[in-house]
């Protein structure tokens, strides 16, 4: 009998109740988010805030947003905003998401949640004290393929999991002016790219018992390439991230009874290939392609807020902190420290 994929339980993003969103820090990922939300959900982006009013106004005009403001504080204080999407570089997340939390606003914070685990613990504590929802925007966690994988694991279709493989590499020409190469902006491959395979391994295996990493650094001192082995019990995750080359960006989970491969890029809507003793099956990706898949995380957050929840069951805050603890240990082994740490 040919193996069969279980159906995804992920709700249709259009079913989530519409909320009013404010975008903090207009840029490339913010543009992708607004496009996805506008096309595939009933969410409304009503305001955008930047340190530059001109930049905010240009973004608002391009995306049909009603209000543009020239400060982050003004954005989070806006009574017409229900939830804030923090789209700045991860070096700024702790402070800027903290502004929203202090203003009593729910927050969806781009990955990586903060630049290190200490900042994450502080932000989590603040959100819990304020009674607001805080979620890391690790959008892969909210895609339908991730729920399908969760069901395969829960049903034991793969048997006892032994091996997780994942990589994420892109080629960037060395540029000391780029945030990816700037230590003060928490640059490097790990927080920008490597967070995807690390989060994937955490989803499958949980927190690692041991972490072994090796890598190289750029001339500016941030991580250029890192290879990691995360071990949990009898299972291992072999992961890689790099700024030096475009890699396949695939992921796989293998066990004693079968394996699942997610084609590249695995962190976006992608095909899944299930192989067991009974044969091989292919699950095609969702028609919502590429970064349009950001609609799922926005809809999930909106539903949580409507339900009065303050954490996501798909990515609990404690797991977000543990993932950054793993990243901190990897950086320690590779010899990368950010200013002020």
By annotation, the residues acting in catalysis are 111
- Interatomic CA distance for residues 196 and 141, integer angstroms: 10
Count other Cβ atoms within 10 Å, centred on residue 31.
16
Q: Buried (b) or exposed (e) across 127-140, using 16+ Cβ within 10 A?
A: beebebbbbbbbbb
In a 13 Å sphere around the CA of 150, the CA atoms on its Cβ side amount to 19
Dist CA 264 CA 226 (whole Å): 19
Q: How far is CA 304 from the centre of its chain?
A: 17
- Edge to edge, the sheet with strand 44-49 lists 67-69, 44-49, 20-24, 83-86, 106-110, 134-137
Phi and psi at residue 266, in whole multiples of 5°?
-65, -20
């Amino acid at each position: 009998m040919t193996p069969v994929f279980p159906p995804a339980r992920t709700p249709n993003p259009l079913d989530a109740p519409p909320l009013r969103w404010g975008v903090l820090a207009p840029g490339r990922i913010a543009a992708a988010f607004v496009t996805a939300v506008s096309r595939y959900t009933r969410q409304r982006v009503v305001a955008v805030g930047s340190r530059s009013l001109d930049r905010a106004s240009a973004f608002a005009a391009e995306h049909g947003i009603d209000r543009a403001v020239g400060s982050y504080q003004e954005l989070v204080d806006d009574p017409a905003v229900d939830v804030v999407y923090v789209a700045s570089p991860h070096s700024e997340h702790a402070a800027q998401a903290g502004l929203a939390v202090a203003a009593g606003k729910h927050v969806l914070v781009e990955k990586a949640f903060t630049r290190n685990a200490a900042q994450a613990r502080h932000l989590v504590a603040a959100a819990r004290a304020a009674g607001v929802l805080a979620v890391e925007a690790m959008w892969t966690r909210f895609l339908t393929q991730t729920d399908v994988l969760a069901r395969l694991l829960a049903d034991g279709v793969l048997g006892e999991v032994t091996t997780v493989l994942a990589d994420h590499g892109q080629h960037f020409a060395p540029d000391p002016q780029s945030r990816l190469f700037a230590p003060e902006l928490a640059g490097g491959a790990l927080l920008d790219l490597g967070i995807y395979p690390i989060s994937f391994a955490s989803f499958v295996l949980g927190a690692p018992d041991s972490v072994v990493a090796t890598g190289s650094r750029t001339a500016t001192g941030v991580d250029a390439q890192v290879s990691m082995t995360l071990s949990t019990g009898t299972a291992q995750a072999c992961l890689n991230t790099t700024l030096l080359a475009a890699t396949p960006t695939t992921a796989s989970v293998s066990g004693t009874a079968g394996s699942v491969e997610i084609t590249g890029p695995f962190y976006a809507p992608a095909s899944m290939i299930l192989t067991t003793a009974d044969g091989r099956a292919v699950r095609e990706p969702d028609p919502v392609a590429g970064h349009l898949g950001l609609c799922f995380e926005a809809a999930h957050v909106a539903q949580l807020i409507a339900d009065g929840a303050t954490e996501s069951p798909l990515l609990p805050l404690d797991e977000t902190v543990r993932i950054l603890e793993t990243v901190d240990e990897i950086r320690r082994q590779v010899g990368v420290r950010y200013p002020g740490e």
